[in-house]
């Protein structure tokens, strides 16, 4: 897209994330490539293809080392090599302690304000430090002073300060994809100074919302007497460095989602309903989540149970379709969540199913993008009910998939506790995720909303999601970075 300043970065962009965009694994004796189907890696892969930069990430596939040169690099995508993927190799213990441990049992619950789920083991912290140094070493080998290094997310809070020592003139920035908590929550962490200090080695730190920016600045202010924090401009001066802290709400590729949603318009929905035995005259509510305790799935199922119990007229007239993806299953909190979800779905189906109808249809198999977006397009409601979520792109994808057609507009039911609520809250149906009886009533309200009201709301949501899409996010984030560049090719040419 020529509107985004992506091209200004050319090969100088070095992107660093925990997850890699292409993973190679053995299937029998063949090497197969898994590619991104959604989320961060899928969104950023086209950017890297455009600029031919380098992406540094954990090599998590058992055949990755097989397709690698002496510098741990491979050109991707395999069928049309257009940028370099460089891997960081981690032992099983390192994955256990850095990824399952510190990243997902300390930073993840802490930043989602669920302090009771944190597990501060010393070995997690030591390994997190070690792995962040490993990532920083790869960056230092790969980057020079004209590079622009883009760190992603909470797995890499310490890598910027290590990289900075060897790269004093290089532009470093980071996008934090999850919430940033208040100081009262963050101060619980014994490593608060190291984490904040690590991040402040960046020239720019991006968050999804103004609230997270405010929380972060308040944490810096409270933690470091020596820091100067300007809350109006978002500038922090600390340890001889200036860091700009700003909100850049992430969007989705709304136009593309709309196209894919309509790809099999004629046949998709009748086939889908037949395959999952959804009666023709039943309305459909959809929930799509990674199986995570932040997503409010048990709470949502409790509300549905309440609905079918107290308003029996909805039996056989509403089907809830749950598409969930297993996640981080080595962690006991995630295993508990999975059992809680399983139990509730079983109970709902045992209590209310009839011969021709099940209240909850669970989709276990992989859906392709056109199938997923087709499901969104035809569902009467989307239930997005997290107890806390940095942004939540399902809400935006659901809106983007709705065809601009009065008869088909759906209703977005959206938790106040998501980042997306800041942008979409005025026209979505706002809910409190912990209040099951209230939520049951709101689901009914959404189901009975008059046509003109549904249309009015979906028109407004659609306009917002189309305007603040993935390209807008990139343009605004990379445009800001371009303005902060310490050393650029243009400067050296002058």
Of 108 and 186, which CB lies nearer to ligand G6P in the complex structure? 108
Of 359 and 390, which CB lies nearer to ligand G6P in the complex structure? 390
- State the Cα–Cα distance between residues 297 and 344, nearest whole angstrom: 10
Of 24 and 358, which CB lies nearer to ligand G6P in the complex structure? 24
Residues 270 to 309 in contact with ligand G6P, rule: CB under 6 A: none
Contact between residue 268 and residue 304 where contact means Cβ atoms under 8 Å apart: no
Q: Looking at residue 267, what DSSP letter applies?
A: T
Residues 379 to 438 in contact with ligand G6P, rule: CB under 6 A: 390
Of 19 and 283, which CB lies nearer to ligand G6P in the complex structure? 19
Of 39 and 483, which CB lies nearer to ligand G6P in the complex structure? 39
Residues 129 to 168 in contact with ligand G6P, rule: CB under 6 A: 153
Of 359 and 419, which CB lies nearer to ligand G6P in the complex structure? 419
- State the Cα–Cα distance between residues 20 and 35, nearest whole angstrom: 9
- Per DSSP bridges, beta strands 360-363 and 318-325 are parallel
Nearest distance in Å: CB 418, ligand G6P: 11
Using the rule CB under 6 A, which residue among 158, 159, 163, 178 binds ligand G6P? 178
Of 178 and 236, which CB lies nearer to ligand G6P in the complex structure? 178
Using the rule CB under 6 A, which residue among 112, 162, 191, 328 binds ligand G6P? 328
Which whole-number Å values give the CA distances from 189 to 112, 205, 236, in the listed order? 13, 20, 21
Nearest distance in Å: CB 476, ligand G6P: 19
Nearest distance in Å: CB 178, ligand G6P: 5
Nearest distance in Å: CB 291, ligand G6P: 11
**Residue for token pair 């086939």:** 271
Count CB-CB contacts under 10 A for residue 10: 14
Structure tokens at 332: 């006991």
Nearest distance in Å: CB 483, ligand G6P: 25
Residues 95 to 134 in contact with ligand G6P, rule: CB under 6 A: none
Of 390 and 410, which CB lies nearer to ligand G6P in the complex structure? 390
Of 98 and 373, which CB lies nearer to ligand G6P in the complex structure? 98
Of 19 and 486, which CB lies nearer to ligand G6P in the complex structure? 19
- State the Cα–Cα distance between residues 188 and 349, nearest whole angstrom: 41
Nearest distance in Å: CB 379, ligand G6P: 21
Of 178 and 345, which CB lies nearer to ligand G6P in the complex structure? 178
Cα atoms found within 13 Å of the Cα of residue 93, Cβ hemisphere only: 5
Nearest distance in Å: CB 477, ligand G6P: 15
- Per DSSP bridges, beta strands 13-16 and 148-152 are parallel
Using the rule CB under 6 A, which residue among 10, 19, 211, 430 binds ligand G6P? 19
Of 198 and 410, which CB lies nearer to ligand G6P in the complex structure? 198
Which residues have a Cβ under 8 Å from the Cβ of 26 and sit 6 or more positions away? 32, 62, 63
- State the Cα–Cα distance between residues 444 and 422, nearest whole angstrom: 24
Could you say whether residue 15 binds ligand G6P (CB under 6 A)? no
Strand partners, 41: none
Nearest distance in Å: CB 388, ligand G6P: 11
Using the rule CB under 6 A, which residue among 34, 39, 230, 270 binds ligand G6P? 39
Nearest distance in Å: CB 274, ligand G6P: 32
Nearest distance in Å: CB 8, ligand G6P: 26
Nearest distance in Å: CB 150, ligand G6P: 14
User: Residues touching ligand G6P: how many (CB under 6 A)?
Assistant: 10
Kindly compute the dihedral angle of the four CA atoms of residues 174, 180, 186, 191, in this order, to the nearest 10 degrees: -20
Which whole-number Å values give the CA distances from 319 to 307, 323, 453, in the listed order? 12, 13, 22
| Cβ-defined contacts of 40-46 (< 8 Å, 24+) | 40/152, 40/153, 40/177, 41/17, 43/250, 43/252, 43/253, 43/470, 44/15, 44/17, 44/152, 45/21, 45/77
Nearest distance in Å: CB 292, ligand G6P: 8
Could you say whether residue 40 binds ligand G6P (CB under 6 A)? yes
Q: Which residue is nearest to ligand G6P (CB)?
A: 177
Of 72 and 153, which CB lies nearer to ligand G6P in the complex structure? 153
Structure tokens at 437: 């009886």
Contact between residue 451 and residue 406 where contact means Cβ atoms under 8 Å apart: yes
Using the rule CB under 6 A, which residue among 87, 112, 177, 396 binds ligand G6P? 177
Could you say whether residue 45 binds ligand G6P (CB under 6 A)? no
Nearest distance in Å: CB 41, ligand G6P: 9
Contact between residue 387 and residue 415 where contact means Cβ atoms under 8 Å apart: yes
Contact between residue 301 and residue 289 where contact means Cβ atoms under 8 Å apart: no
Helix (H, G, I), strand (E, B) or coil at 132: helix
Contact between residue 152 and residue 177 where contact means Cβ atoms under 8 Å apart: yes
Q: Point out which residues bind ligand G6P (CB under 6 A).
A: 18-19, 39-40, 153, 177-178, 327-328, 390
């Amino acid at each position: 897209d020529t509107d985004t300043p992506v091209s200004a970065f050319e090969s100088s962009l070095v992107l660093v994330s925990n997850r890699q965009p292409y993973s190679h694994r053995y299937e029998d004796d063949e090497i197969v490539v898994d590619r991104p189907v959604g989320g961060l890696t899928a969104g950023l892969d086209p950017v890297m293809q455009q600029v031919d930069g380098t992406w540094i990430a954990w090599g998590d596939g058992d055949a990755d080392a097989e397709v690698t040169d002496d510098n741990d690099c491979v050109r991707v995508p395999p069928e049309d090599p257009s940028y370099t993927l460089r891997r960081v190799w981690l032992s099983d213990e390192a994955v256990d302690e850095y990824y399952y441990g510190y990243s997902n049992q300390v930073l993840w619950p802490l930043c989602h304000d669920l302090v009771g789920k944190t597990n501060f083991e010393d070995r997690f912290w030591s390994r997190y430090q070690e792995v962040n140094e490993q990532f920083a070493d790869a960056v230092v080998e790969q980057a020079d002073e004209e590079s622009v290094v883009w760190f992603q997310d909470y797995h890499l809070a310490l890598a910027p300060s290590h990289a900075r020592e060897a790269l004093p003139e290089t532009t470093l920035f980071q996008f934090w994809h999850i919430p940033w908590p208040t100081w009262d929550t963050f101060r619980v962490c014994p490593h608060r100074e190291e984490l904040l200090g690590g991040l402040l080695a960046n020239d720019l730190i991006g968050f999804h919302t103004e609230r997270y920016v405010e929380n972060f600045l308040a944490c810096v202010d409270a933690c470091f007497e020596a820091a100067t924090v300007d809350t109006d401009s978002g500038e922090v001066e600390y340890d001889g460095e200036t860091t700009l802290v700003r909100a850049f709400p992430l969007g989705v590729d709304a136009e593309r989602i709309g196209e894919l949603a309509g790809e099999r318009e004629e046949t998709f929905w009748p086939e889908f309903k037949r395959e999952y035995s959804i009666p023709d005259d039943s309305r459909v509510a959809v929930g799509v989540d990674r199986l995570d305790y932040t997503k409010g799935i048990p709470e949502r199922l409790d509300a549905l149970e309440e609905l079918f119990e107290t308003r029996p007229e909805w039996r056989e007239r509403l089907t809830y379709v749950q598409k969930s993806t297993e996640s981080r299953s080595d962690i006991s909190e995630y295993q508990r969540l999975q059992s809680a979800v399983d139990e509730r779905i079983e109970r709902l189906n045992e209590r209310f199913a009839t011969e021709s109808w099940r209240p909850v249809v669970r989709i276990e198999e992989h859906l392709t993008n056109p199938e997923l977006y087709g499901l969104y397009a035809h569902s009467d409601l989307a239930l997005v009910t997290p107890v806390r979520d940095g942004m939540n792109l399902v809400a935006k994808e659901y809106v983007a998939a709705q065809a601009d057609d009065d008869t088909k507009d759906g209703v977005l039911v959206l938790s106040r506790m998501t980042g997306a609520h800041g942008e979409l809250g005025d026209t979505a149906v706002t809910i409190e995720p912990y209040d099951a009886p209230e939520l049951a009533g709101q689901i009914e309200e959404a189901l009975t909303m008059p046509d003109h009201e549904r249309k009015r709301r979906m028109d407004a949501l659609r306009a917002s999601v189309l305007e603040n899409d993935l390209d807008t996010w990139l343009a605004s984030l990379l445009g800001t970075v371009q303005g902060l560049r310490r050393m650029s090719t243009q400067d050296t040419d002058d």
